[in-house]
Every structure is written in C-alpha cells, then in structure tokens.
Amino acid sequence: MSRSHISSDEFRRHGYELVDWVADYMERVGSLPVQARVAPGDIRAMLPPAAPEDPEPFEALVRDLDSVVLPGITHWQSPGWFAYFPANVSAPSVLAELVAAALGAQGMLWSTSPALTEVESHVLDWLVDLLGLPERWKTAVGPGGGVIQSSASDATHLAHVVARELAKERGASSEHAVAYASSQAHSSIEKGARVAAIRHLRPIDVDENYALRPRALDEAILRDLEQGLAPAIVTSTVGTTGTCAVDPVGEVAAIAERHGLWHHVDAAYAGSAFICPELRVEQDGIARVDSFVFNAHKWMFTNFDCSVFWVADRAPLNRAMSVLPPYLRNAASESGEVIDYRDWQLPLGRRFRALKLWWVLRSYGASGIRDLIREHVRLARWLGERVDEHPSLARVAPVAFGLVCFRHVDGDDATDALAEQINRDGSVYVIPSTVDELRFIRVAVGATPTTAADVERLWSIVSRTL
C-alpha cells in the first residue's frame, strides 16, 4: 500500500482488530436491545461540527463504533430479529465483502474485469437449477439470463421500464400504459411504476388469503382496454410483505399472455425458499413469466445488496438499457461473445457482488442453506400452533414460509399494545401492520442466528404478556 497513510503492517493490525470486533459483535448481538433506543438527533449530537483537518488515529474510529454507532443500530442480525423480513449476513458473505471491497474492480463491461461478469453469470445459472427455475433463464442457455441488482425495488423498476418501452414499441405512450398488481403488493411496485412514468397503477382485489383474484385482474384489464389505455405489465407476488400470500402465478400468466402484458414476479422474500423443493409454489406458472426477482440478501444469508433478477428474454432489457459512448467501446463487446452487465441495469458501475453469493453457496453448500431455511419454517409453524392454541390470539393468515401473522382477539388497540409489550422486552423485535383495516403482528422467523430457543423466548414473552 504505497502512498497510503496506513502502512501494510498497520493495515494487518487494524484488520485483525476489526475481524475480532466483528466476531465479538456476532457473538454478543443477541444480548443487545434489538431496537436502537436513541432519540432523533442523539447520534449527530455526538459528532463534531466539522471534518478533522488532520488524520485521526485508527483507534478513535474503532472506539466510536462502540460509543457512537452501536447505540444507533437496530440489530437486524440479532437472533431476536422477527421484524420486517430478514436482511441476513453470514460469515462467508461478510468476508467476501472485505475481499470485493479491496479488489475495487468494476464490472460495467466484461473487459473491465471478466471475473466479475463470468462468476456472476455462472453462479446465477447455478441458482436456476437450485431454485427449480426454467433452463432458458440461464445465460449459458438463453435467451434469458440473470443479473444482480441492488434491490428488488431496482429490479421491479426495471421491469416496469422495459414493459413501458415494449408498450411504446406498440405505439402506446407512457401516459397510457397501465401497471397491475394485487392490493397486497409491495410498495416498490407502486414506486417502480411511478418512477417509470407509468401513471396508471391498478391495485387488484385479493381473495380471503390475500392472494390476487385473477378474475378481478382480467376485468380491470378489459376496462382499461375499453378506455383506450395500454395495459403493459402485471406483477405477481410470491410471498407478500403483509402476510406472505402467494398470487396464482399460473392463472395470471394466462391472462398476461392473452393480453400481451409483461409478467413480473416479485419473490423478494420467499424466492430463497425455492431451494427446498417442498417449498416451491406456482412453479409451472413461474416458468411462463417474463421476469423474476428474489433477494439473496433476505433469506439466502448473503448480505445486502444482492438482489437476483432473471429475464426470460434478455433482448428487451438490453434494448432499453444500452447506450454506448466512445470511451466504453472495446473489442470484447464488439465480438458479441461477452455479457456487458451495464446493459442489464440502470447504473454504469457495479461491484463484485457475485463473490459473496458464490462464497455463501460453496461455504454452506446447497444442503446447508436448505437446512437453515427448513428449520426457520419449522419454527414458524411451531409458533403458529402456539398462536392457534391460545384463546386471546387469532391468526390473520396461514403460516407461510417463515411468517406468522396474528392479532389480539380484543381488537386493534389490544394488538398494538401487545406489540409494544413484546418489543419493550428488548430481546426480540416484531412489527405491527394493517390488513383489511385490521391491526396485526408480523413475526418473520429467518434471521441467520435464530434458533428454537429464540422462538421459544419470543413465545414466552407473548404468552407472559397476555
């Protein structure tokens, strides 16, 4: 490290120290209150008003991890994390991130670091097999292919942009394009459509399990066609954020095909579970869709960001994303033999995110990931049974994947009070939400370190509170 103010020996010393800090953090995170207990402005108040003019010793940085940073962290890696969905890390993933950061290579073009592109293409092809997805989604087979995006929001936005461009090719302006998704779809679908300048978003009615009603979709499309609008895209969700509902992808596919809509699948959370054959749902339907996203950074133990996006045909995506200035021209791209991932995403630059996914798959092995996910699902079902047995609680949806949704039978206020009590304990964290104007509590079992003991502790807090 010539020119660095930190010598190579110092780098090693600080590096070992931080590896220890991380190992210690992972060991003690379960003993910290899951939710940060600071008030707005508390963290900023600890920071000096201006950047230092002169170098600070590295020790000061590390000290502030404990005194400034940790009090302001809500611990997504706690074994007591049952909030939102998980955003997991794991040992191989964290260490791969260190290496990727140090290589500091850019994967915008194949030629700017061939390993970044080829490892990514290859590992995503592995995942096609592991998740039971269609063979033609492999880059090595085609015409489809996979690419890592920052988040499911980015992937879903891209799907909307591509659908808008296809509608445009058929003569429809973006002002007339229409996007569809169930009323339970994630906010990223509304946001993706809006950002993509699709002005019409139709929230489609759901059935008693909060899954999209195909007939309502078909009717909405017909209504829009009658009004001269241009139905462009429908998103099916596999595992909604609210209750983990699964839309009938096959029935939606038939409707999308009939009317020529792009069909996108948001399996952000549940997609990881497809690595277990018995947890695959709507597989025949998924084989017919145009694009699919799942977040390896949710339930596949690969730290954020690592959102895997497949398209059944790469051509419309590449058409929408390719702009070639003179400084990016190169022989490899012109040969047509390589993938340039800049044509598969909005940004130009891209990190070596495939490294951590590759390391996670190899370090756990497919069997190791299956074991963890199966255990989380088993624990969720166990918790669901406890809920069902308790006279003061009522499930609001079937236990699905790792998610358990329930409410207090006395109503919304009792439910909110229960959530508050549970979170006050500090060793666990759950999120209340609303569905059908009813308040309920979401318990998402799936943090990397969560074991039976943690779910039992959660249940003892719940039952003690009732």
Q: Using CB under 8 A, which residues numbered 160 to 179 contact a second copy? A: 161, 164, 173-175
Q: Rounded to the nearest 10 degrees, what angle do helices 314-321 and 152-169 cross at? A: 90
Establish if 272 lies at the interface with a second copy (CB under 8 A).
no
Establish if 362 lies at the interface with a second copy (CB under 8 A).
yes
Q: Which of 33, 58, 205, 398 binds a second copy (CB under 8 A)?
A: 58
Q: Interface residues for a second copy in 188-227 (CB under 8 A)? A: 188, 190-192, 194-197
Establish if 386 lies at the interface with a second copy (CB under 8 A).
no
Residue 226 burial class via C-beta count within 10 angstroms: exposed 0-12, middle 13-18, buried 19 and up: exposed
Establish if 436 lies at the interface with a second copy (CB under 8 A).
no
Residue 443: both structure tokens together: 């318990």
The type of residue at 68 is V
Concatenate the DSSP letters of all residues of 275-344 into one string: GSGGG--SHHHHTT-SEEEEEHHHHSS-PSS-EEEEES-HHHHHHHH----GGG--HHHHHT-S--GGGG
Establish if 276 lies at the interface with a second copy (CB under 8 A).
no
Q: Considering only 284-292, 310-318, 327-335, 381-389, which stretch makes contact with a second copy by CB under 8 A? A: 327-335
Concatenate the DSSP letters of all residues of 360-387 into one string: HHHHHHHHHHHHHHHHHHHHHHHHHHHH
Nearer to a second copy, 251 or 350 (CB): 350
Q: Interface residues for a second copy in 78-107 (CB under 8 A)? A: 79, 84, 87-95, 97-99, 101-106
Establish if 258 lies at the interface with a second copy (CB under 8 A).
no
Q: Interface residues for a second copy in 105-164 (CB under 8 A)? A: 105-106, 110-116, 118-119, 121-123, 126-127, 129-130, 140, 150-154, 157, 161, 164
Instruction: Go through 84-102 and write b for each residue having 16 or more CB atoms within 10 A of its CB, e for each that does not.
Output: bbbbbbbbbbbbbbeebee
SS3 463: helix
Least distance from a second copy to the Cβ atom of residue 207, Å: 19
Establish if 411 lies at the interface with a second copy (CB under 8 A).
no
**Nearest one of 407, 337, 465, 448 to 81, comparing CA atoms:** 448
The verdict on whether omega for the bond into residue 143 sits within 30 degrees of 0, i.e. cis, is yes
Residue ranges of E strands in 79-173: 145-149
Q: Which of 213, 297, 386, 407 binds a second copy (CB under 8 A)?
A: 297
φ/ψ of 112, rounded to 5, equals -80, -5
Least distance from a second copy to the Cβ atom of residue 99, Å: 6
Least distance from a second copy to the Cβ atom of residue 69, Å: 5
Least distance from a second copy to the Cβ atom of residue 10, Å: 8
The verdict on whether omega for the bond into residue 305 sits within 30 degrees of 0, i.e. cis, is yes
Nearer to a second copy, 209 or 463 (CB): 209
Beta bridge partners of 236: 265
Establish if 456 lies at the interface with a second copy (CB under 8 A).
no
Nearer to a second copy, 255 or 403 (CB): 403
Least distance from a second copy to the Cβ atom of residue 253, Å: 26
Q: Considering only 74-82, 223-231, 309-317, 404-412, which stretch makes contact with a second copy by CB under 8 A? A: 74-82
Task: Tell me how far the alpha carbon of residue 307 is from its chain's centroid.
Answer: 6
Nearer to a second copy, 48 or 391 (CB): 48
Establish if 237 lies at the interface with a second copy (CB under 8 A).
no
